[in-house]
Structure 1
Amino acid sequence: MPLLVTSAAGANGDGHGALLAFAPDGQSLGAFSTDRRIADPRGLGVDRVAGLLFLNSGSDRVLALDARGTVVRDSGPIDGLNAGGGNFGADGRYSVGLRSARAIMAFAPALDAPGTLVLPPGIVPFPRGFAFAPDGRLFLASGIGPDGTGDNAIRAFAPNGAPLPRWHVADPELSPLDLILAPTGNVVVSSERPFGAPDAVTTIREYAARDGRLVRVFSPGRTARFLKPRGLRFGPDGHLYCVARDEVVAFDFTTGRCLGAVVTLPRLNGQALAFFP
């Protein structure tokens, strides 16, 4: 199954500014799609039922692509969208993190209607990644923005949007960049602390689904450079994959062992990844 990675462009990453494809052996397959509506792409989400890949474009629009890389759905330009990460909720809607509004907006999978806010504007200083549990709970990483402002926390919300104060992360070494839920239900984040520092400590951190307690820390050791870690995804093999600067790094989630870089590409500057189709 091909691995797809969004590579940031321009001042936001000086990368390829494209949706890139890689073979299972790590070989570069070039751009998955050359559609001009894909600009400085960010978050990705896969609708397995419909067989579509949803992509957040820097052109302030949400796109859905088929297995051939053809855009088959287009939200059209949305003023001020400035979308970051993307994920599907239990209700089947595709949600995106709004970097300027500091909120989350959900769209019907047909992309034929305006989005609706899942959380109100300004809910966190800078949203960095989020995921929905099967019971409707929402976990949102709050990190440092490009301007250096923000906080380092993870918030939990009930299905109705109410905060869950009993779910709390107390981890002074956390500076989250993306967030997903493990098959166990635990919360997993990529972390770079201090954010943006040349000597930042980069890790993957796992927190208990019940209360936010730190469970374990994954470190690349000497098996990968693991600079500027961003998007996270579990692969069909059960391994945990994280896209970083110039590489995609894999971890054995059962043992926590780093398996090294499975993809290397100069100027990758990856933001999100997905296994598709």
Structure 2
Amino acid sequence: MTLLVTSATGANGAGYGKILAFADDGKPIGVFGSDPRIVDPRGLGTSRVDGLLFVNSGSDRILALDRNGHVVHASRSIVGLNPGGGNFGPDGRYYVGLRSERTIMAFARKLDRAGEYILPPHVVPFPRGFAFGHDGRLFLASGIGPGGEGDNTILAFDSDRRMLPSWKVRDPDLSPLDLTIAPSGNIVVSSEHPFGAANALTTIREYAHTDGRLARVLVPKDGVQFQKPRGLRFGPDTRLYCVAQDEVVAFDFETGDCLGAVARLPRLNGQAVIFFP
């Protein structure tokens, strides 16, 4: 499988503004998908039904690509979409975090219908990643936006999308940037606290799926910069991968050990990471 990373550009960083591919040995392969509608890409997701790669484009579109990087499905240009992260839900739809509307919207897999709000607009000050638990609960990270607005917490919603006040994170060192679900069902986030600070503490933080209790903190080893950690994904080898500035870092999630950078590229400005056939 190929390691794919979205690299932001423009006002959001001096990156490449493309989906970039890396070989097994970490060497850059090149751009994945040359369609001009792929602009300043962010979130990535893969459909288990047809094996397509979904990408959130800064052109206010969502695109579905095949394994050759060709666009198979495309949404229309949606004014104000401003998409962030993406994940598939238990109902087979593709869910997208909306950075301007501060909420989550769901789209049919063929991207041929209007999206549906799953949570009310402005449900959080600034969404920073979301994922569905094994039991259908929705976990949404709420972090700090580029303008300094926001808070640092994680919210849980039941299958009817009602907030669960009994599930609560109490962690003064949390400033989430992305969120994923561990094989155990626990919630895992990349964190940079204080957000944007030159001396920020950058970590991977794991929380119990039962009540939000901090279970563990994973830290980078010596020689790994781990600056501006963003997208998280578990790989086919069950290791945890996190894309950061100039590198992709792997962790042995069972032991918690940092395995080092598995890929490096100057100006990467990575946002999302995924493995794709």
- Normalized against structure 2, the TM-score is what? 0.99
Partner of 1:198: 198
Equivalents in 1 of 2:76, 2:134: separation in Å?
Answer: 30
Q: Read off the aligned partner of 1:102 and give its amino acid letter.
A: R
Partner of 2:159: 159
Shift of 1:186: 0.1
Equivalents in 2 of 1:118, 1:182: separation in Å?
Answer: 23
Shift of 1:223: 3.7
Partner of 1:207: 207
User: Which segments of 5 or more consecutive residues in structure 1 lack a partner in the other structure?
Assistant: none
- Secondary structure at 1:119 match in 2: coil
- Secondary structure at 2:118 match in 1: strand
Sequence identity of aligned pairs in percent?
69
Equivalents in 1 of 2:179, 2:192: separation in Å?
Answer: 13
Partner of 1:55: 55
Aligned residues: 277
Q: Which moved more, 1:130-139 or 1:173-182?
A: 130-139
Contact 1:75 1:112 in 2 (8 A): yes
Equivalents in 2 of 1:215, 1:40: separation in Å?
Answer: 35
Partner of 2:13: 13
User: Which segments of 5 or more consecutive residues in structure 2 lack a partner in the other structure?
Assistant: none
Which deviations, in whole Å up to 9, do the C-alpha atoms of 1:82-127 show, x marking residues without a partner? 0000000000000000000000000010100000001000100000
Shift of 1:51: 1.0
Which deviations, in whole Å up to 9, do the C-alpha atoms of 1:25-62 show, x marking residues without a partner? 10100001111000000000011220100000000000
Contact 2:221 2:260 in 1 (8 A): no
- Normalized against structure 1, the TM-score is what? 0.99
Which deviations, in whole Å up to 9, do the C-alpha atoms of 1:155-204 show, x marking residues without a partner? 00011111101100000000000000001000000000000011100000
Partner of 2:224: 224
Q: Read off the aligned partner of 1:42 and give its amino acid letter.
A: R
Indicate the RMSD between aligned Cα atoms, in angstroms. 0.6
Partner of 2:120: 120
- Secondary structure at 1:236 match in 2: coil
Partner of 1:236: 236
Partner of 1:138: 138
Contact 1:177 1:230 in 2 (8 A): yes
Matched, 1:174 2:154: no
